[in-house]
Structure formats: C-alpha cells, structure tokens
Structure 1
C-alpha cells in the first residue's frame, strides 16, 4: 500500500492544487503534500516489508496487463530521492514569483507522481504510461514558465522525447506479442534470437538515451535546462534523467542480454565521446546553468559506461551514483537559483567576490562542488570509485582500460571547470553588482545544510544504500553470467 501512496498522494495533491487560488496557501499546501510523501517514503524504506512496498491489481485484463508496482532496492532509493527533492525544490524557490502559481505547483506535483510511477512500475505497459505521464506536466512547465526561447526549445525537447517514446512503445508491443503479457517477469523470460534482440535493443535504447541523455541524443538538454524555470530544471536534471538510467538496468539489460553484450562497447564509446565533449564544452560556458547542464551529461555518461561493463561493482556504483548525482546537482541548482534571485544574472563574467558578502552560501557551494568532482569523503567519490573499478575489471568490454582513461580524464576536466566557476563567482573582489549582496536566509541555510549532510553521510557510510542494491544487482548480472561464462 505504501508504494501506491507514493503515487496517489502527489497525484491527488497536485489536482487539488489547481483549485487553490491564494499564493501562500497553495505554496504551503504543495509543501505539505511533498513532506507527507517524504515521510511515507522514509517509512516504507525503514519498514523493510516487501508486502507494504508492493501493490498489484487488475488493470487492462484484455491485454494481460496489471497495475503492478513494487519498490526493489533501486526503486526505493529513487523514490526516496524523488520524495526528498520536492520539499527542497519548493522551499528553495519559496520566494520565486510565478504567474498562476497554483498551476505551476500543481504540474510539479503531477510530475512527481509520474516519476514515482516510473520508478515503481513492474508492468511494461504501466511503465510506458507513467513514462509519458511524467513528460506531459514538464512540457507545460517549460513552455509556460520558461525563458524567452522557451517555445522553440520546448518543441525540440518534446519532439525528441516523444519520438523516443514511440520507438520504445513499438519495442514493448513486439515483446508483448511474443510473451502475451506485459509483466516484467514474462519480459525477462523472452528467448529472442540475436537478430531480433539487436533491433529491439536500439528501439529501447534510443528512448532511454534521449532521456538520460547520451551523445548524440543530448542536444535538447542544455537549451531546455537553460530556458526552463529553475524548479523544473531541478526535476529534469536531478530526477528525470534517472528514468533513463533505471530503464537500462530494469528494462534493457535483463530483457535483451545478448544485444546488450553485443552493442555494449558501441554504447560505451558513444557515452565516452559525450563525456569528453560535454566536459570541453562546459569550459566555454559563461551561463552557470549551461555549465551545470553539460557537467550532467558527463556524469550520466560515466554511469552508462559502468552499466554496460556489466560487473557487480560497476552496476552498484551506477545505482549509488544516481542518488549522489541527484543530491549534488540539486544542490548546484539551489545555489544558482539563489544567486540569480539575488543578483539578477547567471553569467559568471558579471559576478565575483560573493564570498565576502555571503560566506555561508560560499561554504555550502564548495561542499557541493567538492562532491560534484568526487572528492574523498563525499558521496560521489564512492560511486565513481566503484564505477571505475567495475569498468576496469570488466570481462564484457574489450576496451576497459581505454574507457577508464578517457572517463578519468573527463573527471579531471570536471574538477577544473567546477572550481573555475567557484573562483569566478565567489572569489576575488566584489563589483558594482555583487557589492550590495547579502548572505542567505535561514530557510535557504536549512535546505543547503540538508544537502551537505546527505553528501557527507553517504560519502562516509554508504553501506545501507549499497546493501539495498545487492539483490537487484545480482539479478541483473546473472543474465550476462549465463551468456558469457
């Protein structure tokens, strides 16, 4: 029942939000809904009761499709990340003005419901339903509350993701035609030939690669992140990209193991090209939003390479990094939102010396920045170490050393452009724009403190999360073991 509540509460809460007209009331209501969802997510994880974390009922019986949701270790972690993110988003943007704020926050909650459904779905048709449900409110959020170029950018974003969704639907229907069931266990028992797996692989992978995104399917992302309202950008980069990563692990590798092995090096090469390309492009950015957008492409690319290495260390590292990346990128967006609200710009060339006026904000930024570059004792270090270990020790890929070196070079580049941003924005002398700045308020300090605590706790003691991934990791790896022993 808890799994069902994780979807129903933001869904019903979002619908009610549309009918609340007073701004303070609608903001308080949205935060209340998000906090209740967070408490339920925490209760579900600590309860450790499989029955409470699962729900199944008849849905489309004529198609042999059921409303089947369940929170395995990976799903529980992503639901917790989603539940934790929305209160942070709502509090950090509490004073950000929106036209028709009730519609904005209502769509945000509907997006949360869609995300929860994607992370919990154990039926392929239900998975597709929630995949689309999560996209629709984000489309309206970007097109109605975005920047000056929002219409063109949102159109491109929608066409990319909708085309990918259609390709995925064709693949799912073809698999269903063989299994006569949309249940995930039936999908895992398919016996497709190598040729069938090959074209099915690309139908599904392209849809997932667009969502992540992976080079060369990434071109929608920087513009969309830049033009979207920051609250929506937080959802896109912190949570929606994880839909694609989860889909690789739950719906691609176990369903099409032979094709995943055959095309693994090709996909990893694409991801590595994207990692290096995005890292180099990030150096050229003056807009902080675009810089962080390109850094996200590099981080997700590394997860993709680790997943297709098909090792226990690589898969567990990618799962842990999904959580860590979500926390860290959320922290970066919170800082950027505060700076833009205080100084009216995101351009690094127009800022400087903020540390003298906002020491607390500076401290939190550098904690998040150090985590973003994988400094030891931060959450990203553990995930990156496991992923590199998995890539280097993989017996599936022929180019483990090359992929490790290339990705490692990108990590160095990431540290350089992240610290360069810190130097340009926070250090040095103040200018006419930043001279009148002030430090962050108590609610902003609270939000950033929660993020900093998550960074350090997971970095020092990641075992609870890693332990929850063990069962799902073994179930993914066993398919490659059967093929390649």
Structure 2
C-alpha cells in the first residue's frame, strides 16, 4: 500500500461528483471524504513512528528532466496529512444547511483541492511539490470567486496575485537547486546534500520565505488574509484557515530551513521578529473588530505567528510544537468559523454589537462554542495548551525578550476572545437573538467532533507528539550539525 492511494482517491472522487446533479453531490462528496479519512486512518495505524519514510511511491514521470513522482509519509508530514483527511469531511458537513448554485462543481473543487493539499504534504520531489502547491491554489480561487460574498472578485484577485507571485519565487529557487544537483534531479535529499555558499543560500532562503510567509501568512505578507477569509464562503474560509495555511508552515520545516541552513542561522532574527510583530499587530487589530468572522481571521494571524516563531527558533521543542499546533489550530479555527456560519445563517449578521443572550435560547450551542473558545485561548487540558507551551518554550530558549512579546498572543487572545464570547452569548436576548435556535443534528456532529478532539488532545497530547518526535529530532539535529560544520570552516 502506497501513498498514491491517498492522492488518487480525491481526484477520482472530484471527477465523479462533478457529474452528479443536485443535492446528491454533497452526499457523494461527504461519502468520498469519509472514505479518504478511513484510508488515512489505515495508514496511521500502520505507521511506524520513526525517522524513516513509509508508504513511498517513486515513479519515473519525466526522467529526461529528472522529474519523478516521488512521495511518502514520515513523522514530519503524517500530522498535516491526517489533518487534511480529518477536516475535509467536517467542512463538507458544515455546508449541509447551505444551498449552492452548481453544487456538483462546488464539491468537486473541494475534493480536488484536498488532492492538491495532500500532494504538497507528501511530495519528496521539488517539481511535484510545486505542482501540488499550484493545484491546491486553483480550486480555492474559484470557490472564493464564484461563491464568495460582496467584493469577492477584487478580494479573490488580490489573494491569487499574492500567492501566485510568492510561488514564482519558490519555483525559481527550485529550478536553481535542480541545476546545482550532480544528477539534475528535483529529489529533496539531493537538495539537502548540496554544498551551497552562504550568499547563494541567502537567495534560496529569501525565495522560499516569501512563498511560505504569504501562505501562513506572516507580517507584512498578511494583508490578503482578513479580506479573503471574510468574503469567502464559509467552507472556503475553513479550507484556507484550517488546512491551506499549513502549507507554509510545513514548507518552512521541510524545504526552506534544511535546504539553506547556514543562511537561515545567519538571518534567523529577521523572520522570528517578523512573526512576533505579526502576533502583536494582529492581536491589537482583533480588539477593534465587530465582525466575528473578521475577528477570527486576525486571531488566526496571531496564533500562526506563534507557530512561525517556534519554527524559526529551531529547536526540537519548537518544531514539535509547530507540528502539533498545526493540528490544533486547524481544529479550533474550523470550529470558530463554523460557529459564525451558524450565527450569520440564522440571524443574517456577524456583528457582535447586534448580538447577545444567545446562551439563554441555545444552551447546547453555548457550551460547544465555549469549549472552542477556551481551546483557542490555550486553557490547560485543552488541545491549544501543550502546543503553545512548546512553542513559547522554544522561543524562550532563543531569546527571553522575544518570548515575552510572543507570549502576548495568549494574553491578548484571551481578552478579545472571551470578550467576544460574552458579547455574543451572555446578557439579555434582543429581538434578533430571541429567534435563535439551538444546534441541529449535523451541526452537533461537527461541533461535537471538534470539541471531543479538543479535550482528547488536551488530556493526551502524546498521541500526536510521538508520531513526529523521531523525525523532528533527526531533522533538527542534522540541520544543526550542518550549521556547526559550516561555522567551523
């Protein structure tokens, strides 16, 4: 059994769903997404948590150009692979209360995007990685452009230009690395073994950083994100925030730092400081938001900024924290955006100032919403706690003052998230919120699964940490050894 099964199933599913008419398309899409999740769980059960690459596939694709369809699963990508397989069926289920024009195309694009995301996370060939990167971008562009809200064309075009321009820098870096390999290959291990001088590495680092920083996003490459998250249909926002931004996080760990380790060490301060500036900036802007979806978008920038800071501090704890927080953030942010989807669909508004007292008329919704909020503010025994603890510990090992600034994401986040919850759920009901109804069966399933994962991963994070521990230790150690050897010369 190889990873090609995981990659092929959503492609075939997208083609099938494209020809299914009416509401049957969403049922078929959910069935295929659940089948993909079952298949991913089978891979997870058979996965051995060591530093090796497993379930690998290596086909001669365009051998004259050194291009191979090489992909596999190891401790670095098992978590984003599982995140993708887990969230897609939940995201599809969140759409069951919506009616879309041309639903077959809408759900086919979601499944096709899933294939692109999985290709990014599993590719071990630079050209294949780039193909997956672009394949994941095209469906979300059409999802946002065709089914988004007001000003969707302008906002979606800005998003496309940002991300496509960033990917061109990455493509130039990949082509340059290919030309430097002795065998003219895009193989990632050949890239790792290149002996590049620090000036060349600096250009490679910058090219990769621009692409990955836009995708995360990291300040000041973030300006596309709040508008896109707000205008996109809820399912598109969840795909973007829950899974797609993890492409940048994963890319930094897998490609950017190991390929240009010496240059990364020499310039380490810059990306780390940018990440921390983004944390503080996004948190302050979040205080001023009245639109709940937009507030969640800025909160996401702050939390992803902490993940980026943990990666750029480059310790085992930091990369481990980034690995588990990729999963945690995806679960939490999908929960938050789904909450706002439920509110806006029922009441026709996301304005916090117009809401209040919903807990009195929807007690089950209030409890589920509160669990998601508490996870977002990293309350102990929720999934957000251990990841942010590891990330802050790593930044602290790098610099205590930078860690103090990075820690503001927890303090400020707790203030604006709890204030938001109070404004929406507590107090007296008004003429608008008095009509709110409690969660339906499908909504309860989505939020119930999310809350169960929040509690389980908060109580037993080792279930995830052990998957990546050996691979992360091996990668961080090998990169640090290269840096040490280069500095001795």
Bigger shift: residues 288-297 or 1-10: 1-10
1:52 positional shift? 6.2
Within-5 A mapping of 1:250-289: 250-289=254-293
The match for 2:322 is 318
Residues 2, 40 of structure 1: 8 Å contact kept: no
Residue 188 (structure 1) aligns with: 192
Separation in 1, partners of 2:438, 2:121:
37
Question: Which residue pairs with 1:431 in the alignment?
Answer: 430
User: Within 2, Cα distance between the matches of 1:410 and 1:29?
Assistant: 40
Kept in 1: contact 2:268–2:312 (CA 8 A):
yes
Deviation at 1:146, TM superposition (A): 0.5
TM-fit CA distance, 1:4: 1.1
- Of residues 105, 116, 119 in structure 1, which corresponds to 2:118? 116
Mapping of 1:42-81 within 5 angstroms? 42-48=41-47, 53-81=55-83
* TM-score computed with the length of structure 2 as normaliser: 0.96
8 Å contact kept, 1:44–1:52: no
TM-score (norm 1): 0.97
CA displacement 1:199-244 (0-9 Å, x = unmatched): 1110111000000000000000000000000000000000000000
| Residue 366 (1) aligns with residue 374 (2) | no
Match of 2:204 in 1: 200
Paired with 2:365 and 2:153, the residues of 1 have a C-alpha distance of 33
* 1:67 aligned counterpart, secondary structure: strand
Q: What does residue 447 of structure 2 align with?
A: 448
Displacement after TM superposition at 1:481 (Å) = 3.5
In 2: Cα distance, 1:321 partner to 1:264 partner:
21
Q: Tell me the distance in 2 between the aligned counterparts of 1:153 and 1:388.
A: 34
CA contact (8 A) 2:22 2:102 kept: no
Following the alignment from structure 1 to structure 2, what is the Cα–Cα distance between the partners of residues 474 and 327?
25
Equivalent position of 2:347 in the other structure: 343
Residues 1:377 and 2:377 aligned together: no
Secondary structure of residue in 1 paired with 2:330: helix
What is the match of residue 212 of structure 1? 216
1:150 aligns with 2:152: yes
The change in CA–CA distance for 1:390 and 1:170 in structure 2 (over 3 A counts) is: same
Partner residue, 2:407 = 408
CA apart distance, 1:33: 0.5
Unmatched runs of 5 consecutive residues or more in structure 1: 395-399
Structure 2 unaligned spans of 5+: none
Q: C-alpha offsets along residues 297-349 of structure 1, whole Å, 9 cap, x if unaligned?
A: 11111111111111111110111100100111111111111111111111111
Deviation at 1:476, TM superposition (A): 2.3
CA distance in 1, matches of 2:481, 2:332: 33
Superimposed CA distance per residue, residues 427-453 of structure 1 (whole angstroms, 9 cap, x where no aligned partner): 111111111111011221121111111
The Cα shift of 1:51 comes to: 7.9
Q: Distance in 2 between matches of 1:447 and 1:142?
A: 22
Question: Could you tell me how far 1:472 is from its partner in structure 2?
Answer: 2.1
| Alignment equivalent of 2:337, drawn from 333, 337, 352 | 333
Instruction: Name the counterpart of 1:471.
Output: 470
Q: Is the 8 A contact 1:225 1:290 kept in 2?
A: yes
Q: The residue matched to 1:387 in structure 2 has which SS?
A: helix
| Shift >3 Å, 4+ stretches | 49-52
How many pairs align?
479
